[in-house]
Amino acid sequence: MLRLYAITDRTHLDGMSLETAVEKALQGGVTCVQLREKNISFPEYVSTAKTIKEVCSKYGVPLIVNDDYRVAIASGADGVHVGAEDMAVTDIRSHVGDNFIIGATAKTVEQAQKAQADGADYLGVGAVFPSPTKQNAIRITPKILREICQSVEIPVVAIGGINAENVHLIKDCRQAGIAVISAIFGQHDIIKSAERLRAKL
Rounded to 5°, angle at Cα 113 from 109 and 99: 135
The per-residue pLDDT for 116 is: 97
The per-residue pLDDT for 135 is: 66
Pairing mode, if any, of strands 122-126 and 177-180?
unpaired
The per-residue pLDDT for 138 is: 76
The per-residue pLDDT for 152 is: 98
The per-residue pLDDT for 85 is: 86
| Closest to 9 (Cα-Cα) out of 48, 35, 28, 47 | 35
Consecutive 10-residue runs of the chain (201 residues): their mean pLDDT? 96 92 98 96 98 98 97 98 92 93 97 97 95 74 96 98 96 96 96 97 90
Dist. CA 52–CA 196, nearest whole Å: 23
Decide: 10 and 182 in contact? Cβ < 8 Å. Answer: no
pTM of the model: 0.95
